Amino acid sequence: MKKILFLSVFIIAFSCSNKKEVIQVAEISCGQCQFELDSQNGCDLAVRIDNKAYFVDGFDIDAFGDAHDEHTGFCEVVRKAEVTGIVENGRFKASSVRLVDDLK
């Protein structure tokens, strides 16, 4: 019984050692228009973390309004957001994005 318990604890601990999502404030904008990413065509949401830009998986560029709005659109301005997720395979896998700037 002790062996089974020890094995169960080991398996749970090992499975929890995967990368954990991180919550941080990052710059967010259009990867192509503002962050000079060119590995995709068209306009796509991206974040810049530690001076490196990543396309975002999990959220669309138009989920926060018109991407081409002159004052608030991601293709026109770089904004700040609290993002939750992980960088994996050169992309940011986002589980949440909340804008924290006061652009309107």
The answer to whether residues 30 and 67 touch, using CB atoms and an 8 Å cutoff, is yes
Residue 83 predicted with pLDDT over 70: yes
User: Burial letters for 31-45: b for 16+ Cβ neighbours within 10 Å, e otherwise?
Assistant: bbbbbebeeeeebbb
Residue 1 predicted with pLDDT over 80: no
Mean of the pLDDT values across residues 21-33?
A: 96
What is the reported pLDDT for 18?
A: 54
Share the mean pLDDT of the chain: 86
Residue 97 predicted with pLDDT over 60: yes
What is the reported pLDDT for 101?
A: 85
Residue-range domains of the chain with CATH: 20-99 (2.40.50)
User: Burial letters for 79-96: b for 16+ Cβ neighbours within 10 Å, e otherwise?
Assistant: bebebebeeeeebbbbee
Report how far residue 14's alpha carbon sits from residue 29's, in angstroms, rounded to the nearest whole number: 36
What is the reported pLDDT for 7?
A: 43
What is the reported pLDDT for 61?
A: 96
Residue 74 predicted with pLDDT over 90: yes
pTM of the model: 0.79
